[in-house]
Structure 1
Amino acid sequence: MGWAGIVVLGLAIGCAGWFFHPLRRASGTVGSGLALAVAAALVGAALAKTAGRATGLFHDGELLEWPVCTAVAFAFVAVSVALRARR
């Protein structure tokens, strides 16, 4: 998975994570909450890819890369939407 795959994964995880999060209605307007979720997912997936390659956990294109990047992106979205709703 190249960087284009990370962008597509981040967009999909950000939109889905924001839509299914139970606190999304309390997080303010739709546009800003969705933008925050997508940005958090992109940062999370990119950070997971970079950290995984730096530590040698996986190399570009290996099967373990997808679930690790997805899990970290979901975690970033969950935390960012929850923190935005609590402010």
Structure 2
Amino acid sequence: MGWAGIVVLGLVVGFAGWFFHPLRRASGPAGGGLALAVAAALAGAALAKAAGRATGLFYDGELIEWPVCTAGALVLVAGLVALRARR
């Protein structure tokens, strides 16, 4: 998966994580949190890809790269949407 795959994965995970998060409704207007969730998902997927390559866990194109990048994106989205809803 190249960087284009990271962007697509980040967009999908960011939107889905924002839409399905139970604390999203408590955060007020719906518009502001979506951009934060997508940015967090992009950052999480990119960080997971960089960390996996730096540690030698995987290289470009290996199957384990997808679930690791997805998990990294989901963790950041869940945390940031929950923190935004609590302020």
Which TM-score bucket, shorter chain as reference? over 0.9
Identity %: 82
CA deviation vs aligned residue, 1:25-56 (integer Å, no higher than 9, x gap): 11232221000000000000000000000000
Instruction: Calculate the TM-score normalised by the size of structure 1.
Output: 0.97
Letter in 2 for 1:82: A
For 1:52, the equivalent position in structure 2 comes to 52
The alignment status of 1:22 with 2:58, answered yes or no, reads no
- Counterpart-to-counterpart distance in 2, 1:27 and 1:47: 26
- State the aligned residue count: 87
After the TM superposition, which parts of structure 1 deviate over 4 Å for at least 4 consecutive aligned residues?
none
- Counterpart-to-counterpart distance in 2, 1:25 and 1:14: 16
- Counterpart-to-counterpart distance in 2, 1:15 and 1:71: 15
For 1:76, the equivalent position in structure 2 comes to 76
Specify the SS of the correspondent of 1:51.
Answer: helix
CA deviation vs aligned residue, 1:35-84 (integer Å, no higher than 9, x gap): 00000000000000000000000000100000000011001000000000
- Counterpart-to-counterpart distance in 1, 2:83 and 2:32: 13
